[in-house]
Amino acid sequence: MAPSVTHVSGTVAGDVEVRFTQDGIAVCRFRLTETPTQWDAAAKKWRDLDPIPYICTAWRDLARNTAESLVNGVSVLVKGRITAIKENSVYLSVDDLGISLRRRIAYTEASLPSPIAARPTAAPPALPPVPASRPATGRPGSPPAWWDDKRASRWT
């Protein structure tokens, strides 16, 4: 039977630990808490259910990037395989991970502005004034002035 793949949206609980195997492969571990919500029709509001604790493990480049990027309290989205359920926690082997943008802005190396973006720019050139057209007759439902001009030039 193949491991169950799941997607989890939760909050990092605690510090991310990174270690290296004897072969130099990075492995990191962090705790994640997901708090599901449910609509309470009687109270007409959302209520939190019991939090679900996860213990997540990531390997290699994902482990290095995770250790550099995550801190306690950050909301993340995790795709992983359930490897065990024990001691009231779900164990996940993380395949992919991203920072949730629901409550914050995240910058990547590629999206950071370059130093050239900070320099002042010149004001754009002024546009030439638009010639005023003949005003409409002012009656509700009357055609605009350009309509009469087109009709005068035998436009059909």
The predicted pLDDT at position 118 comes to 59
Supply angle C-alpha 75, 55, 74, rounded to 5: 15
- Which pLDDT belongs to residue 152? 76
pLDDT the model gives residue 20: 94
Look at residue 114 in the predicted model and tell me its pLDDT: 67
- Name the residue type at position 52: I
The rounded distance, in Å, linking the Cα atoms of 107 and 88 is 35
* Secondary structure of residue 85 in the 3-state scheme: strand
Token readout for 145 is: 């002035």
Whole-Å CA distances, 34 to 11, 45, 106: 6, 19, 20
The SS3 assignment for 147 reads helix
- Structure confidence at residue 138 (pLDDT): 57
Residue 135 has a pLDDT of: 55
- Domains of the chain, each with CATH number or no CATH: 5-108 (2.40.50.140)
What pLDDT was estimated at residue 4? 81
Give pLDDT < 50 ranges for the chain. Answer: none
- 0.75 cut: is pTM over it? no
